Amino acid sequence: MIRRALIFSLMLAISTHLYAKESFMDFALQAKKTQITQVKPKTLIKPYSPYANRDILALRKNWIVIFFFSSSCPHCRVFAPVMAKFLKDYGFDYRDYTLDAMPLPSFKDPLPVNRKLIQAFFGQEPVHYPAVFIINKNTLSGIPISVGELTYPELMHRFLQVAHILESKNANV
């Protein structure tokens, strides 16, 4: 669990670095700040507070959610209803991609993946799923949200972390 949290923190820090095009020192500081064990107090907003809803809803304007899954994956089968509820609750535009060409009950009409798409999201790394990313509608830059099964509050917390990082970067522009 700690390893997954550290991997996510590193992915979030790297993607935030790529999105913001900041210096290496800023990148290193951001990586340290986004570690799950060292979350800024602002990201500790209770998941069901009006502020959390507002911050997550603000992402809808410029970001699309990308969800990768496999119907044969037990973690995907558990996480898919959570993801579907989250997408419905917040009204995000989304694209769902299946890695085995089969749907799940919560995602009945997924898009197939191709090598170019996998390369764009996962690079040379092995593909792990379920995986959630957000893509900026204007710049097409992407930020990983999660890899693996999450609960609804954990998913909200990840979206809040990203929303607050993006908010602080926009405030510094």
Question: Does the pLDDT of residue 80 top 60, yes or no?
Answer: yes
Domains: count for the chain: 1
Nearest to 34 by CA among 55, 20, 56, 17: 17
Output the CA angle 145-42-147, nearest 5 degrees: 15
pLDDT (average), residues 41-61: 67
Q: Is 43 a domain residue? A: yes
pTM: 0.72
Q: Is 94 a domain residue? A: yes
CA distance 56 to 54: 6
Q: Is 5 a domain residue? A: no
Domain hosting 117: range is 38-171
Quickly state the pLDDT bin for 147 (edges 50, 70, 90): very high
Sorted by sequence, the CB contacts under 8 Å of residue 34 that are 6+ apart come out as 9, 12, 13, 16, 161, 165
Q: What is the pLDDT of residues 22-36, one digit of tens each?
A: 333 343 334 334 433
Q: What is the pLDDT of residues 94-140, one digit of tens each?
A: 999 999 999 999 999 999 999 999 999 999 999 999 999 999 999 99
Q: Is 13 a domain residue? A: no
At 133, which CATH number? 3.40.30.10
Please identify which residue in the block is written with the tokens 């340290």. 32
Strands 63-69 and 131-136: what pairing?
antiparallel
